[in-house]
Amino acid sequence: MPRNILKTLQSEHDALRDLFAEINDTTDRAKKGRTQLLEAIEQNLLPHAKWEETVFYPAFAERADRDGLKTHAEAVLEHHAVEDVVIPEVHAADPDTPEFAGRVKVFGELIDHHAKEEESTMFKLARKLFSAEELASFDEQYEEWKQSNAASLVIAGEKGKTQLKSAMKSLTG
């Protein structure tokens, strides 16, 4: 079987779904477990989201028709909503509180919704817009990028932004 970026992204969605199922199953006493699971979620989500935003989505938009562009706009806005609002609010709550549990639940629901839309609409279109060779080469590029310094810097920058936004949310309530 040739490699295929869409399969990789899909399996990363599934890994995220499993992690959210696990964190949603924790109690308010599981402070350490929740902290570790949130870290694992971000470790999985951030490279995935940043690579989609910087490489895959723009390549998709370049070839998409009107329906594809609408799907693309939805996906981009969902990423922004999660990065700018949801993740900072999760971080602004203490992991041993019901606030944290509620916010993490919404976080997981949005990721599941977003992943479903990608799988049922965007990836379906992408199978028509890109050749098997292109999908394989995206997959290679993605794997290389994930191991690069550039990726570590992008992820660190993203985490820094989250800390800043969550600190501001804690101030303003």
Residues within the interface to Fe ion (CB under 5 A): 9, 52, 118
In the complex, the smallest distance separating the C-beta of residue 37 from Fe ion, rounded to whole angstroms, is 19
Using the minimum distance from each CB to Fe ion, give the nearer residue, 30 or 40: 40
Select the residue whose beta carbon is closest to Fe ion and give its number. Answer: 52
In the complex, the smallest distance separating the C-beta of residue 33 from Fe ion, rounded to whole angstroms, is 25
Using the minimum distance from each CB to Fe ion, give the nearer residue, 25 or 84: 84
Using the minimum distance from each CB to Fe ion, give the nearer residue, 89 or 118: 118
For residues 159 and 145, what is the distance between their CA atoms, to the nearest angstrom? 18
Tokens of 143: 């794997």
In the complex, the smallest distance separating the C-beta of residue 63 from Fe ion, rounded to whole angstroms, is 17
In the complex, the smallest distance separating the C-beta of residue 76 from Fe ion, rounded to whole angstroms, is 9
For residues 103 and 149, what is the distance between their CA atoms, to the nearest angstrom? 31
Residue type, 108: G
DSSP string, 140-153: HHHHHHHTSHHHHH
Cβ count near 54 (within 10 Å): 13
Using the minimum distance from each CB to Fe ion, give the nearer residue, 28 or 158: 158
